[in-house]
């Protein structure tokens, strides 16, 4: 009876197995740590990007109050009374946040993203238009 390693194929399989076993014990150096960046911390970025105006629609009774506020909470212009979305409850507000709106307040104080009412988008667009015109 011939030996188990007499064929060339058996020798090739045995040498591959030995190479794999030898490679398993080898430890590689850990990947290099990234260099520290020159970017400011996230908290500083969040403060720098906070808008100076807020556009809010709040239900007060049968109608909604549409208003602009400074980031300090100070009202910038007199609020306008407009029709409310049907599902907006008394005391709830819709605030424009970038390209979407947040519904906030109400009985359980939950914030949830919703589609923006046209009146709120138009208020913000009018403000941007006034802002972009040069002062005379």
Q: How far is it, in rounded angstroms, from Cα 103 to Cα 22?
A: 62
Give the mean pLDDT of 57-86: 87
Res 25: pLDDT: 57
Q: How far is it, in rounded angstroms, from Cα 70 to Cα 72?
A: 5
Res 43: pLDDT: 60
Provide the token pair at 10: 């058996």
* Lowest-pLDDT choice from 8-17, 68-77, 122-131: 8-17
Answer yes or no: is pLDDT of 1 > 60.
no
Answer yes or no: is pLDDT of 89 > 50.
yes
Give the mean pLDDT of 29-51: 62
pLDDT of 97-119, one tens digit each?
888 899 998 777 788 999 999 99
Query: Percentage of the chain with pLDDT > 90?
Result: 28
CA distances for 25 relative to 20, 21, 50, angstroms: 9, 7, 53
Q: What is the 3-state secondary structure (H, E, C) of 21-90?
A: HHHHCCCCCCCCCCCCCCCCCHHHHHHHHCCCEEEEEEEECCEEEEEEEECCCCECCCCEEECCCCCCCC
What is the model's pTM? 0.59
């Amino acid at each position: 009876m011939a030996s188990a390693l007499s064929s060339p194929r058996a020798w090739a399989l045995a040498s591959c197995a030995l190479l794999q076993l030898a490679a398993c014990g080898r430890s590689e150096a850990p990947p290099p740590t990234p260099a520290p960046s020159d970017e400011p911390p996230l908290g500083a970025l969040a403060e720098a990007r906070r808008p100076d105006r807020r556009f809010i629609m709040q239900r007060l009774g049968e109608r909604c109050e549409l208003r602009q506020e400074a980031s300090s909470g100070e009202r910038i212009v007199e609020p306008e009374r407009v029709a409310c979305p049907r599902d907006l409850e008394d005391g709830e507000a819709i605030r424009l946040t970038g390209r979407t709106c947040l519904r906030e307040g109400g009985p359980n104080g939950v914030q949830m993203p919703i589609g923006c009412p046209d009146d709120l988008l138009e208020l913000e667009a009018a403000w941007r238009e006034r802002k972009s015109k040069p002062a005379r």
